[in-house]
Structure 1
Protein backbone atom coordinates (compact mmCIF):
# COMPACT_ATOMS: atom_id res chain seq x y z
CA UNK A 1 0.00 0.00 0.00
CA UNK A 2 1.14 3.48 -0.65
CA UNK A 3 0.92 6.61 1.41
CA UNK A 4 -2.53 8.14 1.76
CA UNK A 5 -2.05 11.53 0.15
CA UNK A 6 -3.57 13.47 -2.70
CA UNK A 7 -2.95 11.65 -5.94
CA UNK A 8 -1.68 8.49 -4.24
CA UNK A 9 -3.64 5.25 -4.34
CA UNK A 10 -3.79 3.31 -1.12
CA UNK A 11 -4.82 -0.03 -2.61
CA UNK A 12 -3.31 -2.08 -5.37
CA UNK A 13 -5.54 -4.02 -7.72
CA UNK A 14 -3.93 -7.33 -6.68
CA UNK A 15 -5.03 -6.81 -3.05
CA UNK A 16 -8.34 -5.14 -3.75
CA UNK A 17 -10.52 -8.26 -3.53
CA UNK A 18 -9.37 -8.93 0.03
CA UNK A 19 -9.96 -5.28 0.90
CA UNK A 20 -13.49 -5.40 -0.54
CA UNK A 21 -14.20 -8.63 1.33
CA UNK A 22 -13.05 -7.03 4.58
CA UNK A 23 -15.23 -3.96 3.99
CA UNK A 24 -18.23 -6.16 3.15
CA UNK A 25 -17.75 -8.19 6.33
CA UNK A 26 -17.33 -5.20 8.60
CA UNK A 27 -20.22 -3.27 7.10
CA UNK A 28 -22.56 -6.25 7.17
CA UNK A 29 -21.77 -7.23 10.76
CA UNK A 30 -21.26 -3.86 12.43
CA UNK A 31 -22.90 -1.61 9.90
CA UNK A 32 -21.76 1.87 9.05
CA UNK A 33 -22.54 2.93 12.63
CA UNK A 34 -19.81 0.84 14.24
CA UNK A 35 -16.86 2.26 16.16
CA UNK A 36 -16.00 4.35 13.13
CA UNK A 37 -18.22 6.93 11.49
CA UNK A 38 -19.99 6.71 8.17
CA UNK A 39 -17.50 9.26 6.90
CA UNK A 40 -14.64 6.87 7.67
CA UNK A 41 -16.25 3.92 5.89
CA UNK A 42 -17.33 6.04 2.92
CA UNK A 43 -13.76 7.29 2.64
CA UNK A 44 -12.37 3.75 2.65
CA UNK A 45 -14.80 2.65 -0.07
CA UNK A 46 -14.20 5.76 -2.20
CA UNK A 47 -10.47 5.22 -1.80
CA UNK A 48 -10.86 1.65 -3.06
CA UNK A 49 -12.98 2.90 -5.97
CA UNK A 50 -10.08 5.11 -7.05
CA UNK A 51 -7.79 2.10 -7.53
CA UNK A 52 -6.45 1.94 -11.08
CA UNK A 53 -7.47 -1.19 -13.00
CA UNK A 54 -10.67 -1.76 -11.08
CA UNK A 55 -12.70 -4.64 -12.58
CA UNK A 56 -16.43 -4.12 -13.25
CA UNK A 57 -17.36 -6.69 -10.57
CA UNK A 58 -15.16 -4.90 -8.03
CA UNK A 59 -16.75 -1.59 -8.94
CA UNK A 60 -20.24 -3.08 -8.44
CA UNK A 61 -19.35 -4.53 -5.04
CA UNK A 62 -17.90 -1.21 -3.90
CA UNK A 63 -20.93 0.69 -5.18
CA UNK A 64 -23.20 -1.62 -3.18
CA UNK A 65 -21.13 -0.80 -0.09
CA UNK A 66 -21.59 2.93 -0.72
CA UNK A 67 -25.33 2.34 -1.04
CA UNK A 68 -25.34 0.40 2.24
CA UNK A 69 -23.51 3.22 4.01
CA UNK A 70 -25.93 5.79 2.61
CA UNK A 71 -28.89 3.78 3.92
CA UNK A 72 -27.46 3.40 7.44
Structure 2
Protein backbone atom coordinates (compact mmCIF):
# COMPACT_ATOMS: atom_id res chain seq x y z
CA UNK A 1 0.00 0.00 0.00
CA UNK A 2 1.31 3.43 -0.92
CA UNK A 3 1.83 6.05 1.75
CA UNK A 4 -0.58 8.96 1.46
CA UNK A 5 0.84 12.46 1.64
CA UNK A 6 -0.54 15.97 1.69
CA UNK A 7 1.26 19.11 0.54
CA UNK A 8 0.27 22.10 2.60
CA UNK A 9 -1.00 25.42 1.34
CA UNK A 10 -0.26 28.71 3.08
CA UNK A 11 -2.30 28.99 6.29
CA UNK A 12 -3.10 25.28 6.76
CA UNK A 13 -3.51 24.13 10.38
CA UNK A 14 -3.39 20.64 11.87
CA UNK A 15 -7.13 20.42 12.47
CA UNK A 16 -7.96 21.69 8.98
CA UNK A 17 -5.58 19.22 7.36
CA UNK A 18 -7.03 16.35 9.43
CA UNK A 19 -10.53 17.33 8.33
CA UNK A 20 -9.55 17.64 4.64
CA UNK A 21 -7.52 14.44 4.45
CA UNK A 22 -9.00 12.05 7.01
CA UNK A 23 -12.51 13.40 7.39
CA UNK A 24 -12.50 14.70 10.95
CA UNK A 25 -10.51 17.17 13.00
CA UNK A 26 -10.57 14.58 15.80
CA UNK A 27 -7.68 12.79 14.01
CA UNK A 28 -5.39 15.80 14.47
CA UNK A 29 -3.36 13.99 17.15
CA UNK A 30 -2.81 11.00 14.84
CA UNK A 31 -1.70 13.38 12.10
CA UNK A 32 0.78 15.15 14.39
CA UNK A 33 2.16 11.82 15.63
CA UNK A 34 2.73 10.74 12.01
CA UNK A 35 4.74 13.93 11.37
CA UNK A 36 6.93 14.49 14.44
CA UNK A 37 9.35 16.84 12.62
CA UNK A 38 6.52 19.39 12.29
CA UNK A 39 4.87 19.01 15.70
CA UNK A 40 5.86 22.53 16.76
CA UNK A 41 4.18 24.08 13.69
CA UNK A 42 0.88 25.85 14.32
CA UNK A 43 0.23 27.45 10.92
CA UNK A 44 1.91 25.90 7.91
CA UNK A 45 3.58 27.65 5.02
CA UNK A 46 3.00 26.33 1.51
CA UNK A 47 4.82 23.26 0.25
CA UNK A 48 5.31 21.18 3.41
CA UNK A 49 4.75 17.50 2.63
CA UNK A 50 3.03 15.62 5.45
CA UNK A 51 2.39 11.91 5.86
CA UNK A 52 -1.29 11.05 6.29
CA UNK A 53 -1.76 8.14 8.71
CA UNK A 54 -4.10 5.32 7.91
CA UNK A 55 -6.97 5.40 10.38
CA UNK A 56 -8.81 2.22 11.26
CA UNK A 57 -12.15 2.60 12.93
CA UNK A 58 -13.03 -0.02 15.51
CA UNK A 59 -16.04 -2.16 14.79
CA UNK A 60 -18.50 -2.87 17.56
CA UNK A 61 -20.26 -6.20 17.56
CA UNK A 62 -22.64 -5.52 20.43
CA UNK A 63 -24.87 -3.07 18.58
CA UNK A 64 -28.61 -3.72 18.46
CA UNK A 65 -29.83 -5.23 15.17
CA UNK A 66 -31.25 -1.95 13.83
CA UNK A 67 -27.86 -0.24 14.18
CA UNK A 68 -25.75 -2.98 12.59
CA UNK A 69 -24.45 -2.44 9.09
CA UNK A 70 -25.40 -5.34 6.89
CA UNK A 71 -22.99 -6.37 4.16
* TM-score grouping bracket, smaller chain normalisation: under 0.3
TM-score, scaled relative to structure 2: 0.26
More helix by share: 1
Larger radius of gyration: 2
More strand by share: 2
TM-score, scaled relative to structure 1: 0.26
